[in-house]
Amino acid sequence: MSSRLGLYIHSRKHIFAISFSRLSDALGGGAVYFALPLFIAGINPTSIPNAFLSGVIIAVWGIVATIVQPVIGLAIDRTGRAKLLLFLGLLATSMVLYTYTRVEDLLALLSVRVALGFTEAVVMVSSIVILASVSERRKRGENFGIFYTVTDIGFALSPVLAGILLEYYGFSEVFIAGAALTLMSAALVLRLVPEVEISSLNDGKREKPSREILMISTTLFFTICALSAYVPLEESFLSYMSLTPLTFGITYSAYIITRTFFNAPAGRLSDRMGRKRIFVAGTVVLGISTIAVPLCQNFLQFLILRVFQGVVVAFIYSPATALVADKSEHNLGLGMSVTNSALTLGLALGPIFAGFLGGYIGFFAPFYFFGLSIVLSGFLSAIKVSEEFKFEIE
């Protein structure tokens, strides 16, 4: 058993090197993210509700990252220096996280969030481009699953780290820990991650994102919008389903943990059965389960649904990103950055849409809207996206 595991890890040593290089910054950056609403509450001198203000400030990061990522993708395609950009992005992110310790007002905080959107855009695009580059096409689904599993572990543990540091120390220690862990990631990238020549795949031609990539990205956008709607509506969940902050937190953790366990198996299955087939099926099922959220009436029903969604989402992420990598082989930077931009835009706009629909129409509205949008985009993906590897060159 141990020898088989050793062979498995050795055969994917570059994948594990990239994944574990990003583990520590997922842990540190996640801790800062979870501490941010409490930090904003302490420096908010206005009458604007803290929940709304937190959503806006977090959204600024997503909007900046969404705009910057395609530019970074093109830069990677032209220079081929993905590892260097990943190292510099992590180094800059570490410095920006440390500047949180100097923030004393909302304007300074907004400036830090803008800078972080830029530096983390560099990190996100360069890491997935390297991952796609070192992955054999027939194993890409599983390799992306491994990457998401490792980074999910870091993100899942980050609230615990934030809670311990806030309980016994303070906000400065959370920010310093985040900066130190991200700096550790930069060092690990320099030591472990292989050099990849992205430009050798380009052949001097210029590629634009195909309609298939845009369709997959649109589906992922609605998926992320739905998944980012839960935390902003926490208060509504507490009253609608008679939950407590603890039981709501348990349902969120259950979703993350379940997704973590199923990332790699889902990717492996997509390698064998076809990425499009698994991605479309997962999308439609997630959409239906999202519509079912308001039908839950108590903690147990909601917990079961969230565990189920954790499984289903694993069957979306890994196959989708592997499928996009297959369809943008000549310009991995541009193709992967467009898809990642859809994810960050969903993270930015999802909470705002959810708050608006939930506040002005009703608790059920965001889940019906996002659920139907996911189902529709899933069916359109089934029609518009092919399983074959196609490239659109101009």
Say yes or no: 180 and 287 in one domain.
Answer: no
Say yes or no: 237 and 111 in one domain.
Answer: no
Q: Which residues of the chain have pLDDT under 70?
A: 1-11, 51, 197-209, 329, 388-394
Say yes or no: 137 and 223 in one domain.
Answer: no
Which residue in 24, 123, 29, 106 sits closest to 60, CA to CA? 106
Say yes or no: 39 and 95 in one domain.
Answer: yes
CA distances, 346 to each of 154, 176, 226, 349, 384 (Å)? 21, 28, 8, 5, 21
Say yes or no: 188 and 284 in one domain.
Answer: no
> Where among 145, 166, 193 does a domain terminate?
193
The CATH number of the domain holding residue 244 is 1.20.1250.20
Tell me: the pLDDT tens digits for 319-357?
Answer: 999 898 888 767 778 888 889 899 999 988 888 888 888
Contacts of 13 by beta carbon, 8 Å cutoff, 6+ apart: none
Count of structural domains, the chain: 2
Look up residue 298 and give its DSSP letter: S
Cα radius of gyration (the chain): 20
Is 204 a member of any domain? no
C-beta of residue 325 within 8 angstroms of C-beta of residue 212: no
Helix axes 171-192, 140-168, angle to 10 degrees: 150
Is 315 a member of any domain? yes
Say yes or no: 49 and 133 in one domain.
Answer: yes
Judged on CB neighbours under 10 Å (0-12, 13-18, 19+), 368 is: middle
Q: What pTM was computed for the model?
A: 0.83
Residues spanned by the domain of 85: 10-193
Is 137 a member of any domain? yes
Contacts of 94 by beta carbon, 8 Å cutoff, 6+ apart: 179, 180, 182, 183, 186
Is 203 a member of any domain? no
Say yes or no: 186 and 229 in one domain.
Answer: no
Tell me: the pLDDT tens digits for 106-139?
Answer: 999 999 999 999 999 999 999 999 988 888 888 8
**pLDDT score for 201:** 47
Structure token pair of residue 293? 């959220």
Say yes or no: 189 and 219 in one domain.
Answer: no
**pLDDT score for 11:** 55
Is 313 a member of any domain? yes
Say yes or no: 145 and 222 in one domain.
Answer: no
Is 2 a member of any domain? no
Is 200 a member of any domain? no
Say yes or no: 215 and 183 in one domain.
Answer: no
Say yes or no: 186 and 297 in one domain.
Answer: no
Say yes or no: 219 and 171 in one domain.
Answer: no
Is 37 a member of any domain? yes
H helices present in the chain, as ranges: 2-11, 13-43, 50-79, 82-99, 106-134, 140-168, 171-192, 211-227, 234-240, 245-273, 275-291, 299-327, 332-360, 365-384
- Nearest-angstrom CA–CA distance, 130 and 134: 6
**pLDDT score for 390:** 41
C-beta of residue 86 within 8 angstroms of C-beta of residue 123: yes
